């Protein structure tokens, strides 16, 4: 089949193509909604764990520094104690008072040195205890966050697995349909869609009203829409209007309500399977 130039499409064909595009885009939107904030939450948790891991590494390094300092002070104490022992031995052999005084001063000095070293060791040990506590807290937090991450990742993976193939197909479909639509029309459709809260750029007439903003459409305008000769937009919300019949939507003759071929039901099932987690909430219902 040869590719048609988009400008050769009739208004009817353009509307139909736009509606098909809208259906595909809405399906993609729905799948993204299911994923919701999950991708962001996973990213946040990963970032937090990375930050905490860096903090633990830093604390471990600090503890090692204190331990090295303690080992050094212990070495200094051993040296000072050896000196004290030596001086004490020499005291037994002093010849005069001057020598005695000198040795006594040395012993006093070395003893003070030992006391100072012991004080430094006590301080370092206190610091190590604080750091160990800080490290344990961070590690506990990491474990907790990792648990959360595991849960969120599985949840996301489950949803992705369910929808991946379908979503790829839809994206292909979107590409094909977009290529069929004339550039200017596609641009304005995309703009309408972007500004619309429900992501609908084209809607069908529903109970004499716009299917997007639910404002009543005057009868003459409804007739124009039914003719498929012109592209007509809703005068309130600016959405492109399509005759339900052309959109392939069934209308309930009795109520005038339209019924989409697919969609709603599926979503309800999905929601109820999700609510399994919040057991108490569903118990209350």
- What is the C-alpha separation between 231 and 238, in angstroms, rounded? 11
Cβ nearer to Zn ion, comparing 149 with 237: 237
- What is the C-alpha separation between 59 and 129, in angstroms, rounded? 11
Taking CB under 5 A as the rule, which mask of x and - marks residues 215-244 in contact with Zn ion?
-------------------x-xx-------
Burial 86-110 (b: 16+ CB within 10 A, else e): ebeeeeeeeeeeeeeeebeeebeeb
* Chain CA centroid to CA 266, Å: 26
* Count of alpha carbons within 13 angstroms of residue 150, beta-carbon side: 6
Q: Which of residues 1-40 bind Zn ion (CB under 5 A)?
A: none
**Residue 210 interacts with Zn ion (CB under 5 A)?**
yes
Q: How far is the CB of 218 from Zn ion (least distance, A)?
A: 13
Q: Across the strands, what pairs with 251?
A: 258
Interface pick for Zn ion out of 141, 213, 231, 251 (rule CB under 5 A) = 213
Cβ nearer to Zn ion, comparing 198 with 275: 198
**Angle 207-212-216 (CA atoms, 0-180°, nearest 5)?**
45
Q: How far is the CB of 214 from Zn ion (least distance, A)?
A: 7
Q: Which residue stretch of 39-47, 68-76, 213-221, 264-272 sits at the interface with Zn ion (rule: CB under 5 A)?
A: 213-221
Cβ nearer to Zn ion, comparing 45 with 210: 210
Question: Which residues of the shown chain bind Zn ion in the complex (CB under 5 A)?
Answer: 210, 212-213, 234, 236-237
């Amino acid at each position: 089949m040869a590719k048609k130039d988009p400008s050769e499409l009739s208004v009817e064909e353009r509307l139909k193509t736009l509606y098909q595009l809208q259906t595909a885009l809405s399906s993609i939107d729905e799948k993204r909604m299911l994923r919701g904030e999950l991708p962001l939450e996973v990213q946040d948790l990963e970032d937090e764990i990375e930050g905490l891991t860096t903090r633990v590494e830093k604390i471990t390094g600090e503890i090692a520094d204190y331990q090295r300092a303690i080992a050094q002070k212990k070495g200094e104490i051993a040296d000072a104690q050896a000196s004290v022992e030596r001086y004490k031995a020499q005291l037994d052999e002093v010849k005069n008072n001057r020598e005695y005084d000198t040795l006594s001063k040395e012993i006093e000095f070395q003893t003070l040195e030992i006391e100072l070293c012991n004080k430094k060791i006590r301080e370092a040990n206190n610091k190590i205890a604080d750091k160990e506590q800080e490290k344990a807290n961070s590690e506990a937090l990491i474990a907790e966050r990792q648990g959360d991450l595991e849960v969120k990742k599985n949840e996301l993976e489950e949803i992705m697995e369910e929808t991946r193939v379908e979503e790829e197909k839809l994206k292909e479909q979107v590409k094909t349909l977009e290529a069929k639509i004339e550039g200017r029309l596609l641009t304005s459709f995309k703009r309408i869609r972007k500004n619309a809260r429900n992501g609908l750029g084209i809607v069908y007439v529903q109970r004499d009203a716009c299917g997007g903003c639910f404002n009543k459409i005057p009868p003459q305008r409804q007739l124009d829409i039914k003719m498929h000769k012109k592209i007509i937009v809703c005068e309130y919300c600016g959405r492109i209007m399509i005759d339900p019949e052309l959109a392939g939507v069934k209308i309930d003759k009795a109520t005038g309500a339209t019924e989409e071929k697919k969609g709603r039901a599926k979503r309800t099932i999905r929601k109820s399977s999700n609510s399994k987690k919040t057991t108490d909430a569903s118990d209350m219902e």
